[in-house]
Structure 1
Amino acid sequence: MSFKDFQNELYTIGNKLWLKLQRLPTAEPVEILFFFVIILFIATILLMMIIAGSFCCVRCCNRSPVQKGRRIQVQPAARA
């Protein structure tokens, strides 16, 4: 699928959504409920994707380098 086809598809979906929103005030209550359930589902999925992406980015990008402990040179104890 080329970018132009993808852009046309998004434009078509946007037009359908706009027409649905314009007809919403005169729709039946069940249709209004179903529309808002679908919108809530889409919003939940997008929110979950944003949260997952932010956790992944925080975990991968902000990982501090492993700190190496100081090496202490051990010397033999002095005999008295």
Structure 2
Amino acid sequence: MSYKDFQNELYATGNKLWLKLQRLPKAEPVEIVCFFVIILFIATILSMMIIACCCCCSRCCNGSPHQKTRRIQVQPTVHA
């Protein structure tokens, strides 16, 4: 898919969404609820992706290497 095809597809999808938003005040309640559920789902996925990227970048890009804690093995004491 070329850039021009992608751009046209994105423009067509934007137009469909804009027409749907314009007809929303006249829509049935079920259609309004469905539309907002879809929008909420998309917003949730996007926010989860942003949070995941922020968490990943804060671990990788903070400038310090990961420090592993040393584990010291405890030896049992022998009482004679």
How far the C-alpha of 1:28 sits from its partner, in A, is 0.2
CA distance in 2, matches of 1:48, 1:63: 24
5+ unaligned residues in a row in structure 2: which ranges? 68-80
TM-score for the superposition, normalised by structure 1: 0.76
Secondary structure of the structure 1 residue equivalent to 2:64? coil
How far the C-alpha of 1:63 sits from its partner, in A, is 4.0
Q: Residue 32 of structure 1 aligns with which residue? A: 32
Structure 1 runs of 4+ with >3 Å offset: none
TM-score for the superposition, normalised by structure 2: 0.76
Q: Residue 76 of structure 1 aligns with which residue? A: none
Q: Given residue 45 of structure 2, which amino acid in structure 1 is its aligned partner?
A: I
Where do 1:30-69 residues align within 5 Å?
Answer: 30-65=30-65
- What is the aligned length? 67
CA distance in 2, matches of 1:60, 1:66: 9
How far the C-alpha of 1:38 sits from its partner, in A, is 0.3
Task: Return the index of the structure with the highest Cα Rg.
Answer: 1
The CA RMSD over aligned residues, in Å, is: 1.5
